[in-house]
Structure 1
Amino acid sequence: MARTKLISDRDVFQQVLTLLLKNGEKSVTFSTVSAATGLAPTTLVQRLGSCSDMILGAIAQAWDELDQLVEAATLDASTMNKGLPGLLKSLVGPIDPGALLTLSLRDSGLTGRAKAWRHKVEQAIAARLDVSAKAKETAALIFAAWQGRMLWDAGGGKGFRLGDAIKRLG
């Protein structure tokens, strides 16, 4: 009979992602994840396979969480009432999409997840714009400006006001 999991795979993946974002891929070993979770390295191997599988699982879970943010924002009436700025604010969570994209570039499946997330966000942006053919193109530009702003904010500089860019593009 299987033992009850004291720590879920989700929580383990959360610790793996924290290690990845803080110290890079080389910092993720069964020993370091064991220290972070309190699970024995052999337990981690049995549950998650190789280190590579553990890393891929953590990144995939993070994309799942970002997808859930988009879905929740598109269904939330209060976000809809706040327009495009409200949507973008609701998509800022504990996971940095830019850092996650960087981690995803080594695997075509994960890169596909990143592209799918971007497409969902662009669709949500376009839904808050008019219904013209230009909305899709404008949504892509707003997405790029939003992600660029987030990247440079993290790098220590604020180059422009996103609201001004939205007004000019909309």
Structure 2
Amino acid sequence: MKLIPDSEVLAVTLKLLLLNGEKAVTFSAVAQKCKLAAPTLVQRFGTCPAMIDAALALAWDQLEAQTAEAFDEAQGKAKGVQGILKALSGPIDSPALVTASLKSATLAQRAKAWRDQVEAALTLKLGSGAKAAETAALTFAAWQGRLLWDGAGGKGFRLGEALKRLTD
């Protein structure tokens, strides 16, 4: 019986990865944070890259569940584009997750599929046709950019105002 479940180990792995980069994720560093022996992690995951991929895959599972919940909630309500994006701005740092996932073809494909899914939902809220799809793509890119730069003090950009300009 595992005293510390893999999900907790992977949460620590993800936190180290997103805060300090891939080089910060070692069996020793994760073991220390989890109060485990490094060989235990070797037995569980085999290699550090495998542990990192498992952490990223778990984060994608969580983001995809959060996305489905946001879409379900928006379905029955008059929530517009901003409501959907606000519901998606949760505990998972999606720009950081996308960036960290680009080294793996499988994870990069999950990132693309997620973007396509969000853009499709935004398109439905904006109408139909090429203009709605283009506006959805621009809105998604602006939203992700804002999330990325908010951490660096870039709070001057207002997505709602940009969306109004795009839809006029």
TM-score under structure 1 length normalisation: 0.90
Q: Which residue of 2 aligns with 1:122?
A: 119
1:167 matched to 2:161? The reply is: no
In the TM superposition, residue 54 of structure 1 has moved relative to its aligned partner by: 0.2
Unaligned runs of 5+ in 2: none
Unaligned runs of 5+ in 1: none
Contact 1:104/1:110 (CA < 8 Å) preserved in 2? yes
| In 1: Cα distance, 2:76 partner to 2:13 partner | 31
Contact 1:79/1:87 (CA < 8 Å) preserved in 2? no
Q: Which residue of 1 aligns with 2:60?
A: 63
Pick the aligned partner of 1:9 from 6, 9, 18: 6
Contact 1:73/1:79 (CA < 8 Å) preserved in 2? no
| In 1: Cα distance, 2:76 partner to 2:6 partner | 31
Superposition RMSD in Å:
1.6
Contact 1:21/1:99 (CA < 8 Å) preserved in 2? yes
Pick the aligned partner of 1:97 from 85, 94, 97: 94
In the TM superposition, residue 79 of structure 1 has moved relative to its aligned partner by: 7.7
| In 2: Cα distance, 1:154 partner to 1:79 partner | 33
Q: Which residue of 1 aligns with 2:17?
A: 20
Identity across matched positions, percent = 56
Contact 1:79/1:86 (CA < 8 Å) preserved in 2? no
Contact 2:119/2:133 (CA < 8 Å) preserved in 1? yes
Pick the aligned partner of 1:30 from 23, 27, 49: 27
| In 2: Cα distance, 1:109 partner to 1:79 partner | 33
Give the ranges of 4+ consecutive aligned residues of structure 1 lying more than 3 Å apart after TM superposition.
77-80
| In 2: Cα distance, 1:135 partner to 1:144 partner | 14
Tell me the number of residue pairs that the alignment of Structure 1 and Structure 2 aligns: 167
Contact 2:98/2:111 (CA < 8 Å) preserved in 1? yes
Q: Which residue of 2 aligns with 1:146?
A: 143
Q: Which residue of 1 aligns with 2:44?
A: 47
| In 1: Cα distance, 2:58 partner to 2:68 partner | 15
Q: Which residue of 1 aligns with 2:108?
A: 111
In the TM superposition, residue 160 of structure 1 has moved relative to its aligned partner by: 2.3
| In 1: Cα distance, 2:100 partner to 2:77 partner | 31
In the TM superposition, residue 123 of structure 1 has moved relative to its aligned partner by: 1.4
| In 2: Cα distance, 1:81 partner to 1:88 partner | 14
Per-residue CA distance 1:125-145 (angstroms, 9 max, x = gap): 112111333222211111011
In the TM superposition, residue 158 of structure 1 has moved relative to its aligned partner by: 2.6
